[in-house]
Amino acid sequence: MRITVLFKMIYYELVLLLRSKWLLSFTILFMLLAGLLYFYGIQSLQSNPSEVAYGLESGTSINTSGKDPSLFGVEAIEKTTSKEDLQAGYNRAIAMLMNLALWILPIICLILGVTSIVADKESGRLTLYKTYNTPFTYYVVSKFAALTLSLSIALGLSYGLAGLVLALLGHSFSASIYIVFIALHFLLIIVFTGAALMIGSISTTRMQGLSFSFFFWSFVLFVYEFLIFSVIDLFPYAYKLKGLLTLILLNPIESIRVWSINHLHAGYIFGPEYLILQEGNNSSLLTLYVVISILIILGINIFLSNQIMKRKG
């Protein structure tokens, strides 16, 4: 029977979130951005590279006085487009979407999650729940499940509609890239929903919660990346691999970023530091490391937020 109560709590929280103006605004925002970036990616893929002949771009004219340029040792250069070029076009589009997700999706999760928990504190609903004969863990789990589901629904609607329009127009993305793209968004939602629980548990007002959210978002997204490349230089070469892996896995957004780019076969953009991971032949285990680290961090966030709200809420 207690499981039934948990499902009812999740359903109730989900209904409240789906009515939220925050979620509606975020859904509309993602619809607009998803459509714009999808069409931009397709347009860049369809744009043919400039045809070059005799060292000049197509459309450029030169007066040869009726002479054949080959008489002067100038040969025509034929431009061909390979499958790799087409795949690169898809990668450029996905890279733009990935950067968008890494910037916007975390702060959306934090704002929606923190305001939801703080609102319960300010209205007295959290205090009332403590009087019920129900494990307090149910409240935390129901919040996490409802937040994850509501954000997944919003993303599914926004990007799904944009993808449907493209499919009707005869365009589509590679299945492997699409899977990585969906996994990236889902992992971000899970990670930052858990972080929202933790921040919401220590916040007493909405302004305080938003301040903590922006500070945390700025640190994990911008500051931590510079710390990695500053600290890794202090490690002896023999420990650089383990040190780099540890530093990356301590910050889920960095581990998700590395995992995604690794699966898009674009790891070269990280420079020589990333090659250390390849030398250790750990790229095949990267998925396992990322999943384990995310589950551990998520478990810690849920446990601590449960304990804090149970005593402090």
pLDDT in tens, 138-174: 889 999 999 999 888 888 887 777 667 766 776 655 5
* Percentage of the residues of the chain whose pLDDT score is greater than 90: 19
Picking from 209, 218, 16, 12, the residue whose alpha carbon sits closest to that of residue 114 is: 209
pLDDT in tens, 1-58: 577 888 888 888 888 888 877 778 877 877 777 676 666 655 554 554 444 444 444 4
- Count of alpha carbons within 13 Å of 41, Cβ hemisphere only? 26
127 part of a folded domain: yes
Which of 67-81, 135-149, 201-215 is predicted least confidently? 67-81
Q: What pLDDT does residue 276 have?
A: 53
More confident residue, 285 or 115: 115
104 part of a folded domain: yes
Q: What pLDDT does residue 153 have?
A: 86
Domain total for the chain?
Answer: 1
At 66, give phi and psi (nearest 5°): 80, 5
225 part of a folded domain: yes
Report d(CA 132, CA 5) in Å as an integer: 12
Q: Which domain holds residue 294?
A: 2-39+90-311
83 part of a folded domain: no
Report d(CA 296, CA 234) in Å as an integer: 27
71 part of a folded domain: no
Per-position b or e across 55-68, b if 16+ CB within 10 A of its CB: eeeeeeeeeeeeee
66 part of a folded domain: no
- Over the chain, what is the mean pLDDT? 76
Decide if pLDDT at 285 tops 60: yes
Note whether 69 and 151 are within 8 A (CB).
Answer: no
More confident residue, 50 or 245: 245
Report d(CA 270, CA 267) in Å as an integer: 6
Q: What pLDDT does residue 50 have?
A: 40
Q: What angle do CA 150, 25, 36 make, to 5 degrees?
A: 100
Q: What pLDDT does residue 87 have?
A: 44
Stated as kind and residue range, the H or E segment containing 26 is: helix 21-46
48 part of a folded domain: no
Got the DSSP string for 202-249? H-SSHHHHHHHHHHHHHIIIIIHHHHHHHHGGGS-GGGHHHHHHHHHH
Long-range interactions of 240-244: CB distance < 8 A, separation 24+: 240/276, 241/276, 241/277, 241/279, 241/280, 241/282, 244/273, 244/276, 244/277
DSSP 50: P
Decide if pLDDT at 98 tops 90: no
57 part of a folded domain: no
